[in-house]
Amino acid sequence: MTGDHVAAFVEGLRRLRAHPEVRDGLVVYRVDLVETAVEVAELTGWPMAPPHWIHLPAVVVLPATNSQRSTRSGWLRHSRQVDGWGGDADPVRAWVAHVRGVLATAR
Amino acid sequence: MTQRTSVAMTADTHDALARALLLDGREDVRLATYRPSTGATRRTALVRRLVPPEPGELGFRGNAALTGRYVRRAATLAWADSCGLILAHGHPGEQGWQGVSGADRETEAAYADLAQEITGLPLVGLTLASDQSWTARHWDRDVGATVAENVRVVGDRLVVSWNDDLVPPPRTRRGQARTVASWGERTHRDLTRRAVLVVGAGSVGLDVAVRLAATGVTRIGLMDFDTVEEHNLDRLVGATRVDAWLRRSKVDVVGRLVDLNATAASLRLETSELSVCEPAGLAAALDFDVIFSCVDRPWARAVLNSVAYAHLIPVVDGGIGVDAFSDGNGMRGATWRSHVVRPGRPCLACNGQLNLAAVTADRAGDLDDQRYIAGNGGDQGENVAALSVSAAAGLLAQYVSLTVAPGGLGDPGPLRYVLSTHTLEHVPAHTRPACPVEATIADGDLALALAGAHHAADHRRAARRAAERTWDVRLGRAADDLLHRLHARLLGVAERRLRVGEVAA
Ligand SMILES: [Zn+2]
Ligand SMILES: [Zn+2]
């Protein structure tokens, strides 16, 4: 079943022209030219429950507290809770909006 | 295939079927589709939708007669939706659970193979009597009819039709006289037969389970993977320092209290040290007719939230929030909430009681990770015994409304009690458009199961097993078990002495 969830997530990103690719346990894609990723393992609840950690290149600095090393070298993963989930007809669009919101705080 | 079987449907589906089957006092017949819901020991057919007959698909030979064309068309529709086929008919003028008459048996047996061939699932036969009670059986190939133990209809009331042969009405006892007098013999026989699961044996779960036992419920499940610890003792009323020292599991300790407080002639207590988030825990939960959610973690609540819709098992949920001042002086306030999660009501995510976005972090173990908590300012989950009983009372009152419908009113919707002002509020709640949870009504086994490996549960159980191997815990347990056995003996003596008094009186 896990494969189905990942496939649904990837397909949604493709529809939004976010250039998704699955590598090293991550779904890597682009939001407004910034490369970002989520862990495949976090997609088992998709689309009912969204992923949690947002992976970004270390050069992207968030004014935040909770960052940990990513599985991808030179990257960090950032803990960012989504406010409310499940009210959007297109969950992938909602997810990208969330990532875009987080990126807007980057320095 | 000697498994227990059952059928469930929403109140809306029930109304639609009843209109079709009992309209003009003549025995009518309809086909419908169902999805299986497979528990550890019970499989339930969840009625999904009616397939109305097209002109010429029903013949009349005295009673309504099916045609092969209707069966084939409905079975094909069922197959396309990964469903099985239901053959339902009305018994106007009859009351209660129906035996399968020769003619009914023949009709159902005649179409059972065809239905199974097309859909891959056993045909389910349903009969509706004039008093709105259902009867059901599963027709497995080479096995024949397995008669269901009950049929539940989930709406603002939970209405259950019972097969007395498989689940006999419990004998009422003298110790239950006042309970029975409160809602009558008939209601009591019904509600004490329902299999009730309490998920979470913490302070609220303990109070709920003990009260259910005192009410006379004959089948109670308790599920929790946790261990009694000293910091639980201010809320786990009845648990002792001995239990904390001996590393007793919460379900052991609460199970003992449930047993001590049971008023039923015989109580079937099923304890499980699994989490409802684990596949086996979820399967065990699907064996029950109603579930109390007394857990506070988002993952477990998300699983139960989904079960309420996908598997048509009403979930009575709620909890308490104590708001402490950060400087440690005094208390800002407290609220406790209660609500029944079921089709027709907004789910926990829609009524603001569950953040589905927190599920992934909980599942990954982040909510147990100090680094993560520090970074996110996690809350401490304050709670006090004097108030947790109110939260339990809120849940139990919702359960009574759902079950007994006092004054004809069923579940009241989400309620919130505000301690500072001492007001009880009805909380307005609406289903969000495109809610992914409420869209899964009667999806059964095909619903997205949020269950998976649960490392915190594994860890707790392993730590308990390790402690059980130490000498002082072993000796302590032997002594403690002996005391409990002696107490059980004494209770048996008391039971017999009271009986003597009863006969003499
Ligand atoms: Zn009949
Ligand atoms: Zn909802």
Dist. CA B432 → ligand 2 center (Å): 6
- Yes or no: say if B212 and B220 are a contact pair by the CB < 8 Å rule: yes
- Yes or no: say if B4 and B149 are a contact pair by the CB < 8 Å rule: yes
Confidence (pLDDT) at B375: 62
> Quick check: B357 and A82 CB within 8 A?
yes
Confidence (pLDDT) at A1: 43
Q: What is d(CA B443, CA B453) in angstroms, rounded to the nearest whole number? A: 22
Residue B325, class by beta-carbon neighbours within 10 Å (0-12 exposed, 13-18 middle, 19+ buried)? exposed
> Quick check: B355 and A85 CB within 8 A?
yes
| Chain B interface residues (partner A, CB cutoff 8 A) | 302, 306, 349-350, 355-361, 363-364, 366, 371-372, 374-376, 432-437, 448-450, 452
Q: Give the pairing type, strands B195-199 and B219-223.
A: parallel
| Chain B partners within 8 Å of A64 (Cβ) | 375
Q: Please, which residues have CB less than 5 A from ligand 1, an ion?
A: B 104
Residue B370, class by beta-carbon neighbours within 10 Å (0-12 exposed, 13-18 middle, 19+ buried)? exposed
- ipTM score of complex: 0.89
CB proximity list for B284: less than 8 A, separation 6 or greater: B39, B40, B221, B223, B270, B272, B274
- DSSP codes joined into one string, B186-241: HHHHHHTTSEEEEE--SHHHHHHHHHHHHHT-SEEEEE---B--GGGTTTSBTB-H
pLDDT tens track for A19-77 = 999 998 999 999 998 999 999 999 999 999 999 999 999 999 888 668 889 999 999 99
Percent of chain B at pLDDT exceeding 70: 95
Average pLDDT over residues B298-314: 97
pLDDT tens track for B64-97 = 678 899 999 999 999 999 999 999 999 998 999 9
Q: What is d(CA B119, CA B136) in angstroms, rounded to the nearest whole number? A: 19
| Chain B partners within 8 Å of A91 (Cβ) | 436
Buried b (16+ CB within 10 A) or exposed e, B186-223: eebbbbbbbbbbbbbbbbbbbbbbbbbbbbbbbbbbbb
Among all bound ligands, the one having the nearest atom to the CA of B430 is 2
- Yes or no: say if B221 and B198 are a contact pair by the CB < 8 Å rule: yes
- Yes or no: say if B102 and B65 are a contact pair by the CB < 8 Å rule: no
Dist. CA A36 → ligand 1 center (Å): 62
CB proximity list for B289: less than 8 A, separation 6 or greater: B150, B152, B158, B160, B194, B195, B196, B313
Q: What is d(CA B465, CA B453) in angstroms, rounded to the nearest whole number? A: 19
pLDDT tens track for B426-473 = 999 999 988 999 999 999 999 988 999 999 999 999 999 999 999 999
> Quick check: B364 and A81 CB within 8 A?
no
Q: What is d(CA B112, CA B114) in angstroms, rounded to the nearest whole number? A: 6
Dist. CA B90 → ligand 1 center (Å): 7
- Name which of B235, B176, B205, B181 is nearest B387 in CA terms: B235
**Site of tokens 């596949």:** B279
The pTM of the whole model exceeds 0.80: yes
- DSSP codes joined into one string, B103-152: HHHHHHHHHHHHHHHHHSS-EEEEEEETTS-EEEEEEETTTEEEE-SEEE
> Quick check: A42 and B371 CB within 8 A?
no
- Yes or no: say if B190 and B48 are a contact pair by the CB < 8 Å rule: no
CB proximity list for B505: less than 8 A, separation 6 or greater: none
Among all bound ligands, the one having the nearest atom to the CA of B91 is 1
pLDDT tens track for B230-284 = 988 888 999 999 999 999 999 999 999 999 999 998 999 999 999 999 999 999 9
A41 to chain B, any CB pair closer than 8 A? The answer is yes
Q: What is d(CA B275, CA B280) in angstroms, rounded to the nearest whole number? A: 8
> Quick check: A86 and B450 CB within 8 A?
no
**Cα pseudo-dihedral B47, B81, B288, B193, rounded to 10:** 20
pLDDT tens track for B160-170 = 999 999 999 99
Identify the three-state secondary structure at position B400: helix
Average pLDDT over residues A11-25: 94
State the amino acid at position A39 in one-letter form.
Answer: E
Q: Searching chain B, which residue's CA lies closest to the CA of residue A98? A: B357
Confidence (pLDDT) at A50: 94
Q: What is d(CA B254, CA B225) in angstroms, rounded to the nearest whole number? A: 12
B177 DSSP 8-state letter: H
CA distance B2 to chain A (A): 29
Exposure on the CB side of residue B237, measured as CA atoms within 13 A = 16
State the amino acid at position B16 in one-letter form.
Answer: A
Q: What is d(CA B254, CA B488) in angstroms, rounded to the nearest whole number? A: 16
What are the DSSP E strand ranges found in B233-369? Answer: 268-272, 290-293, 315-324, 331-341
Confidence (pLDDT) at B99: 86
Identify the three-state secondary structure at position B99: coil
Q: In a mutagenesis test of the A interface, which of B303, B347, B448 is the best target, namely the one with the most A β-carbons within 10 Å?
A: B448
> Quick check: B356 and A86 CB within 8 A?
yes
Estimate to the nearest angstrom the gap between the alpha carbon of B137 and the chain centroid. Answer: 21
Nearest to B436 among A47, A52, A66 (CB): A47
Confidence (pLDDT) at B102: 84
Q: What is d(CA B274, CA B282) in angstroms, rounded to the nearest whole number? A: 9
Helix (H) and strand (E) counts for chain B? 14, 19
A44 to chain B, any CB pair closer than 8 A? The answer is yes
> Quick check: A52 and B432 CB within 8 A?
no
> Quick check: A86 and B349 CB within 8 A?
yes
Confidence (pLDDT) at B501: 67
Confidence (pLDDT) at B381: 66
Largest Cα separation within chain A, whole Å, is 38
Question: How far is the CA of A53 from the CAs of A18, A37, A64, A65, B303, in angstroms?
Answer: 18, 9, 13, 13, 21
Q: What is d(CA B437, CA B198) in angstroms, rounded to the nearest whole number? A: 22
Nearest to B376 among A48, A79, A83 (CB): A79
Q: What is d(CA B172, CA B182) in angstroms, rounded to the nearest whole number? A: 13
Q: pLDDT-derived band of residue B179, with 50, 70 and 90 as boundaries? A: confident
> Quick check: B357 and A83 CB within 8 A?
yes
CA distance B314 to chain A (A): 19
- Yes or no: say if A38 and A17 are a contact pair by the CB < 8 Å rule: no
| Chain B partners within 8 Å of A68 (Cβ) | 371
Largest Cα separation within chain B, whole Å, is 81
Estimate to the nearest angstrom the gap between the alpha carbon of B100 and the chain centroid. Answer: 28
Average pLDDT over residues B338-357: 95
CA distance A74 to chain B (A): 21
> Quick check: B433 and A81 CB within 8 A?
no
> Quick check: B434 and A48 CB within 8 A?
no
| Chain B partners within 8 Å of A62 (Cβ) | none
Dist. CA B497 → ligand 1 center (Å): 50
Nearest to B357 among A5, A44, A85 (CB): A85
Buried b (16+ CB within 10 A) or exposed e, A37-62: bbbbbbbbbbbbbbbbbbbbeeebeb
Q: What is d(CA A18, CA B194) in angstroms, rounded to the nearest whole number? A: 51
Average pLDDT over residues B305-309: 98
- Name which of B334, B382, B335 is nearest B235 in CA terms: B382
Q: What is d(CA A56, CA A105) in angstroms, rounded to the nearest whole number? A: 13
CA distance A43 to chain B (A): 8
Q: In a mutagenesis test of the B interface, which of A27, A52, A67 is the best target, namely the one with the most B β-carbons within 10 Å?
A: A52
3-state DSSP of A49-86: CCCCEEEEECCCCCCCCCEEECCCCCEEEEECCCCCCC
CA distance B361 to chain A (A): 6
| Chain A partners within 8 Å of B302 (Cβ) | 45, 48-49
pLDDT tens track for B369-420 = 777 666 665 555 677 888 999 999 999 999 999 999 999 999 999 999 999 9
Dist. CA B221 → ligand 1 center (Å): 36
| Chain B partners within 8 Å of A83 (Cβ) | 357
